[in-house]
A = this chain, B = another copy of it.
Amino acid sequence: MLSETEIVVRYQETDQMGVVHHSVYPIWFECGRTDLIQKAGITYGQLEKDGIMLPLLGLKCRYMSPCYYGDTVIVKAGVKDMKPARIIFRYEIFRKGGIKPAASGETEHVWANRQLKPVNMKKYHSDLYQLLNNIFMQGENFEDE
Residues of A within 8 A of B (CB): 8, 10-12, 14-19, 21-27, 30-31, 34, 43-45, 48, 53, 55-63, 66, 68-70, 107, 116
List the B side residues contacting A61 at CB < 8 Å: 56, 58-60
In contact, B58 and A19 (Cβ under 8 angstroms): no
In contact, B26 and A43 (Cβ under 8 angstroms): no
Protomer copies: 4
Residue from B8, B34, B59 in contact with A34 in the complex, judged by beta carbons closer than 8 Å: B8
Q: How far is the CB of A107 from chain B (nearest CB, A)?
A: 8
Identify 14 new A-B residue pairs, CB closer than 8 A, beyond the known A17-B48, A45-B68. Answer: A10-B27, A10-B34, A11-B15, A12-B23, A14-B15, A16-B17, A17-B53, A19-B55, A22-B59, A23-B23, A26-B26, A44-B69, A58-B60, A66-B116
